[in-house]
Structure 1
Amino acid sequence: MSARKKLWKLLYKNSFLYDPIKGFNLSSGGHSDVYFDCKKTTLTSQGMILVGQLFWEEIKGTLAEGIGGLSLGADPIVCATVIHAAREGKEITGFLVRKEPKKYGTQRWIEGLIKKGMKVVIVEDVVTTGGSVLKAIFRAEEAGLQVIKVITLIDREEGGRTVIEGKGYEYIPIFTRSDFIKREG
């Protein structure tokens, strides 16, 4: 069985919630009959291995020197991908974008060993409107990083792709909402 299929099964079992009656409130402010609680998969040993493998497969052919995204959804993806790259003998730097700047010490928005001019990939666990991705992109570019691609674990297919691509960024979802709804429908 492929890594993609194994990860889909884990996400479906651990992270996919469907409630057509009550639904779920989303961080974007919207409401949906579907909710993806990805950390219930990305923070498991098997989930982390598969996430690292699939995200690294999307990155390794690029000029990316770094991978990062907005905390907390991106954190396990970043860590898993960096480890997977290292296991293949490749060097890539992980970084995390805070939701607010550190209140002491350096008062940074971004944690990690970054350098101006680095080519980076922005990652996210779930994209709905694209707002969190755009925040991460803004902070990365503000720090002098060059965003070359955006990859998400799941695209909810609610406009995020259009927003991200509309800003000129290459966008790759590993899975989409439709990949999970087909099974429920």
Structure 2
Amino acid sequence: MSLAIGDPMPSFSLPDTDDRIHTLPEEAGSSATVVVFTCNHCPYALAWHDRLLDVVRDYQDRGVAFFFVNPNDADRYPDDSFSAMKERVAREGGWPAPYLRDESQEVARAFGAKTTPDVFVFDGARKLVYRGAPDADYQEPSQRASWLREALDALLAGRLPDRQETEPVGCSVKWKR
């Protein structure tokens, strides 16, 4: 079951690649919170990666909190293991937002995450206002995660996004068997 527009943010505590525990909704942003389910190996997630990090850099000083969550089964997909996540962040010189490990997959299930990436945007009241893809085309960097930016711009302007839901596009979440 997936979250529906207007649903409250699920609570969770997960470790990041620096072994710090992050807890939502306590660490939610004052204006908005973005939770992106992603991973290390999916070509869609990798294609959107830089665009998503650019959004973090452009909005994090405006009361928006960001969290990237990897829920994939690391036994079947070792590139998505916690150690591989740590290596990736270190190799890339760090990320501007926490990269969290959902080993139990409970968080992905609570959100109803379908793909990597799958973007969830919550307003300052911790209600879901956008869910779906970052933009219309993973192969076109000039899109700049425009759907995510539209949602954030609307919230920062004090209104709901015009586009509240799109179909998430990417590799399926790799559920444990």
- Highest relative contact order (Cα 8 Å, sep 6+), 1 or 2? 2
- Give the structure-1-normalised TM-score: 0.30
The TM-score with structure 2 as length reference comes to 0.31
More helix by share: 1
Which structure has the greater CA radius of gyration?
1
